[in-house]
Amino acid sequence: MLNSVTDALRADLTSKLPAAAFRELTEAYLREPRGRYKGADGFLVAPDCTQDVATVVRACSDAGVGIIPYGGGTGLVGGQVMESGPTPVILSLERMTKIRDVFPKENVLVAEAGVILASVQEAADAVDRLFPLSLASEGSARIGGNLSTNAGGVNVLRYGNARDLCLGVEAVMPDGSILNGLSRLRKNNTGYDLRHLLVGAEGTLGVITAASLKLFPKPAGEGAALMAVPDPQAAIDLLALAGDLLGHQVSGFELINRMGLTFLAEVGPEVRAPFDDPPEWMVLIDVGCVAGLDPAQALERLFEAGAERDLVTDGVIAQSGAQRDAFWNIRESIPEANRRIGSVSSHDISVPVGRIPEFISRAQQAIARVDDFRINCFGHVGDGNLHFNIFPVIGNSRADHDHQRSDVKRILHDLAADMEGSISAEHGIGRLKVADLNRYSDPIKLATMRTIKAALDPKGIMNPGAVISA
Amino acid sequence: MLNSVTDALRADLTSKLPAAAFRELTEAYLREPRGRYKGADGFLVAPDCTQDVATVVRACSDAGVGIIPYGGGTGLVGGQVMESGPTPVILSLERMTKIRDVFPKENVLVAEAGVILASVQEAADAVDRLFPLSLASEGSARIGGNLSTNAGGVNVLRYGNARDLCLGVEAVMPDGSILNGLSRLRKNNTGYDLRHLLVGAEGTLGVITAASLKLFPKPAGEGAALMAVPDPQAAIDLLALAGDLLGHQVSGFELINRMGLTFLAEVGPEVRAPFDDPPEWMVLIDVGCVAGLDPAQALERLFEAGAERDLVTDGVIAQSGAQRDAFWNIRESIPEANRRIGSVSSHDISVPVGRIPEFISRAQQAIARVDDFRINCFGHVGDGNLHFNIFPVIGNSRADHDHQRSDVKRILHDLAADMEGSISAEHGIGRLKVADLNRYSDPIKLATMRTIKAALDPKGIMNPGAVISA
């Protein structure tokens, strides 16, 4: 059983850390973007170095007080917010914002956990390299949180998830010891890979304080196209064709449904509509080409080959960087439009890529049996990852469907599980999906996770209630 | 304390498993390629299905008997051979050789642990896909062992190590439970990533019985070149230049020292010498190009750009697949030549790629202070991974240097550690490097590994003595 923060612990930490580490606990630290969770209370500490993080963790371990690691606060599953229970320490990494090292020739950058994702991208760009992790919240998400949640985003198809971009981590373990794993080696087979255990553990096994990250040569040329496809199966076939024709030059392959454009037209943000008469399904294809190949020409060839096979019915290929940005702006604005409309239920599922069309079709039918809804199904179809989100029809409100929310969720999660899929493709478990994890996970995986958690964090102080239920 | 296999355990297993699972324990199972370790004894069991593997593990767990998981037997660090201690069960995966599924459009293949690596490659090839893991022993190594040791090889630069090619694993845990983790999802953030804990654990945390593996579209064209470089620094600069000019089309970048060719000339195997007057240093560069780019032309451009910057002094570009194979045959024959010469000490180190030249120079100087040796330094320089191997000069024998072996090893490992490197880049720890791991590992990493091992395998039955010392 954990204890609440006591005056003694506050005094202890205040005596050991500089005054700058203590900040006012504003509302922002107790909220999360979708407003589903509201933190009760907490003692906010923001150390600016790994040693001070270790001091905090050791003090909390001694006092049996829970720790909520806090990055950019952009997580969508409540991993950064504790609603009830003994008052925890909120350990913000916001002051650990140093880029410690950049090795352009080695394609490596070492960043502290509090560096904003966009700042990592900029630091890579400054040495003519690419850090490919990219997602809607990159302007406020912090790299430590991206790693702790194994963030995905729009370039996973080509470059992998956050874990694939990480060569090593420095972390403070639950007893306050510091794991020095900031390797920049490409090969290192010396025992268990603790990096991969900490990445994706959502702060339940320790606090990542810094990471060495992989950079890449920038593509010689970049381009994008929006292509109308007759149905999701055509999108999947077009994806395979793109792989055959363009290899790993395909960096993004996003499915967009007309509903996304409808929402944007209804509530904004304002975007330039790419088609006068938008098709029901379209894909946004992004390519980064090697020297000697023109991106627009490559996309043109893909379009022609796709049209020949009846996989594409219409399309527009970006003729400039600005047009490419405009295409992406449509895609990246859809989550904001969704928020403004107000979803009944949002989902972050994945299934094997080849089963995407079947999932969409079965999910649509199942949801229609519950009620009349608007469905905005979009996402990283190249990774088998869909955001299958459910909204009221015009005239109805979210509240009208409150009684159906859990049914809707259950139907879609059951379906994903039945189709060898995942109930959380990229957002993680946090607190939102703990019960789902218990329900859908392989029981041996769950038992093994519990064994590891109990062994590494016997007092259960690290992000209590997240991922693993008490 | 573990027990030896008893007659009761033999009888128990014999009653539960089909007769075909029991094979004669020939010498082959008690040896390893370099002849450093010789197993004492063991009870050989070769189940042909996961359930039977679980039966064996459960019986051993109940009896407190150690298990040596056995794949292709090609490991170079003694992970598959136990020299002393209570007689273990040798659990061979050789009969689990099914390719369970192939999903060409999804670029996924599901293989049982006993499938020979070359057979995985062939199964991918049969559906016009590439499984890129490739190493000298691919004709006898089994994929379960490749994963358990996180094998590296010649394509890591482009495609990553074995762990990067694995989407999920099925494994039998130390209590005999079966972890069903054969996901073929590209994104799945549902709790701790146990796949990455089992991959690279060398059988000490469980037995991998099957894996879902990533396939890739085949490059449209492949090519190779041998280029003479003035020194290792030029090789590293040429690597960076190759990245700038060719992006991720560079799939292999191997450093070869003249000593390798000298050894081949002395003891074979016979290879076609690429240069009349071989340079001291050369690199073998392999490319897999996208459609629209000619590999030979791409290599030509790299050669010209390299020559302009004085990074290349001579070169030969393969004009056919046969010539490309001949280049690779030189590289792949070097380990056999080394064996025939007989090394005083072999090393599998890595350092940050940018520090390779410094490592070579400092290592040469340090070794020269010990005695007069021949050094064959070669390897996957694109990954920062060198096989820095030490041989007697002509007229001397290995035995003449027996008293210096441990000094030589210490010097090179100290140097690698001092240079932020690894004492085992791709071969793993096995039994050979357990003491080294204890010496060079971050102590918190080691402590965390021990905690995990004790929690998941409290009786210590899984590959006892490997990786973690008792």
Residues spanned by CATH 3.30.465.10 within chain A? 99-217
Q: Write out the residue limits of the CATH 3.30.70.2190 domain(s) in chain B.
A: 221-338
Minimum-distance CB partner of A385 among B184, B187, B446: B187
What are φ and ψ of residue A366, in 5° steps?
-65, -40
CB pair distance less than 8 Å for B444 and A164: no
Chain B residues lying within 8 Å of A350, measured CB to CB? 185-188
d(CA A398, CA A401): 6
Position B34 pLDDT exceeds 90: no
Mean of the pLDDT values across residues A227-255? Answer: 95
- Given a contact cutoff of 8 angstroms between Cβ atoms, the answer to whether B345 and B408 are in contact is yes
Question: Which of A67, A408, A360 is CA-nearest to residue A206?
Answer: A67
CA terminus-to-terminus distance, chain A: 10
Residues of chain B found within 8 Å of residue A150, distances taken between Cβ atoms: 189, 193
Q: Which band of pLDDT confidence, cut at 50, 70 and 90, is reported for residue B271?
A: very high
Mean pLDDT of A191-198: 98
pLDDT of A213 above 90: yes
Written out in words, the top-level CATH class of the domain with range A221-418 is alpha beta
pLDDT at residue A49, rounded to an integer: 98
Interchain contact, A193 vs B196, CB within 8 Å:
yes
C-alpha to C-alpha distance for B194 and A180, rounded to whole angstroms: 21
Contact A274, B318 (CB under 8 A): no
Q: Do A245 and B291 touch (CB under 8 A)?
A: yes
> How many beta-carbon pairs below 8 A join chains A and B?
274
Quick one: which of A358, A117, A122 has its CA closest to A236? A358
Average pLDDT over residues A15-39: 94
Contacts of A245 in chain B (CB under 8 A): 291
Say what angle helices A443-456 and B443-456 make with each other, to 10 degrees: 130
| CATH architecture for segment(s) B221-338 | 2-Layer Sandwich (3.30)
Written as one string, the DSSP assignment of A419-440 is TT-BS-SSS--TTTTHHHHHHH
pLDDT surpasses 80 at A410: yes
Contact (CB<8Å) A291/B156: no
Token pair recorded at residue B104: 């060409």
Residue A432: what residue type?
L
Average pLDDT, chain A: 96
The per-residue pLDDT for B215 is: 97
CB B186 to CB A353 under 8 A? yes
Q: Which of B107, B156, B170, B192 to mutate to test the interface with A (most CBs of A within 10 A)?
A: B192
Residue A470 reports pLDDT greater than 90:
no
- Chain A residue numbers touching B248 (CB-CB < 8 A): 216-217, 248
Best to test chain B binding among A135, A150, A190, A214 (most B CBs inside 10 Å): A190
- CB atoms B383 and A186 under 8 Å: yes
Residue A103 and residue B352: Cβ atoms within 8 Å? Answer: yes
Task: Tell me: pLDDT of B316 over 80.
Answer: yes
The pLDDT tens digits of the residues spanning A422-440 come to 999 999 999 999 999 999 9
Interchain proximity B192–A188, CB inside 8 Å: no
**Position B273 confidence tier, pLDDT thresholds 50, 70, 90:** confident
Which one of A161, A237, A445 has the shortest CB-CB distance to B181?
Answer: A445
Please say if the pLDDT value at position A235 is more than 80.
Answer: yes
Look at B448 and A196 and tell me if their CB atoms are within 8 Å. no
3 state SS of A62: helix
pLDDT higher than threshold 90 for residue A273: no
Q: Report chain A residues whose CB lies below 8 A from the CB of B442.
A: 179-181
Name the segment(s) of chain A with CATH classification 3.30.43.10. 7-92
Chain B residues near residue A219 by CB distance under 8 angstroms: 247
Residues with Cβ within 8 Å of residue B264, at least 6 apart in sequence: B270, B271, B330, B333, B334, B337
Counting Cβ atoms within 10 Å, is residue A435 exposed (0-12), middle (13-18) or buried (19+)? exposed
| A274 pLDDT higher than 90 | no
| Closest partner CB to A190 (pick from B181, B246, B437) | B437
pLDDT category of residue B85 using cuts at 50, 70 and 90: very high
Q: Do A350 and B192 touch (CB under 8 A)?
A: no
Share of chain A above pLDDT 70, in %: 100
Q: Which residues does chain A have within 8 Å of residue B180's beta carbon, measured at their own beta carbons?
A: 442, 444-445
In the prediction, which pLDDT does B267 show? 96
CB spacing of A196 vs B201 below 8 angstroms: no
- Out of B191, B200, B445, the one facing A437 most closely (by C-beta) is B191
Distance between B118 CA and the closest CA of chain A, angstroms = 22
pLDDT at position A238, please?
Answer: 97
Do B186 and A156 make contact, defined as CB atoms within 8 angstroms?
Answer: yes
How close is the nearest chain A Cα to the Cα of B376, in Å?
20
Contact at CB, A441 and B105, closer than 8 angstroms: no
- Average pLDDT for A384-390: 95
Partner residue facing A161 (CB), from B187, B446, B456: B187
For A7-92, the fitting CATH number among 3.60.70.12, 3.90.1150.10, 3.30.43.10, 3.40.50.720 is 3.30.43.10
pLDDT of residue A34: 85
CATH class in words for B342-426: alpha beta
Tokens 């000697």 belong to residue: A292
Residue A254 has pLDDT above 90, yes or no: yes
Q: Is the pLDDT of residue A50 over 90?
A: yes
CATH of B99-217, one of 3.40.190.10, 3.40.50.720, 3.30.70.3340, 3.30.465.10: 3.30.465.10
Instruction: For residues A253 and B122, give the distance between their C-alpha atoms in angstroms, rounded to a whole number.
Output: 29
Residue B470 reports pLDDT greater than 80? no
SS (H, E, C) chain B: CCECCCHHHHHHHHHHCCHHHECCCCHHHHECCCCCCECCCCEEECCCCHHHHHHHHHHHHHHCECEEEECCCCCCCCCCCCCCCCCCEEEECCCCCCEEEEECCCCEEEEECCCEHHHHHHHHHHCCEECCCCCCCCCCCEHHHHHHCCCCCCCHHHHCCHHHHEEEEEEECCCCCEEEECCCCCCCCCCCCHHHHHCCCCCCCCEEEEEEEECEECCCEEEEEEEEECCHHHHHHHHHHHHHHHHHHEEEEEEEEHHHHHHHHHHCCCCCCCCCCCCCEEEEEEEEECCCCCHHHHHHHHHHHHHHCCCCCEEEECCCHHHHHHHHHHHHHHHHHHHHHCCCECCEEECCHHHHHHHHHHHHHHHHHHCCEEEEEEEEHHHCEEEEEEEECCCCCHHHHHHHHHHHHHHHHHHHHHCCCECCCCCCCCCCCHHHHHHHCCHHHHHHHHHHHHHHCCCCCECCCCCCCC
Determine, for residues A354 and B437 on separate chains, whether the beta-carbon distance falls below 8 Å. Answer: no
Torsion B323-B325-B329-B332 (CA) sign: positive
Q: Which amino acid is at B279?
A: P
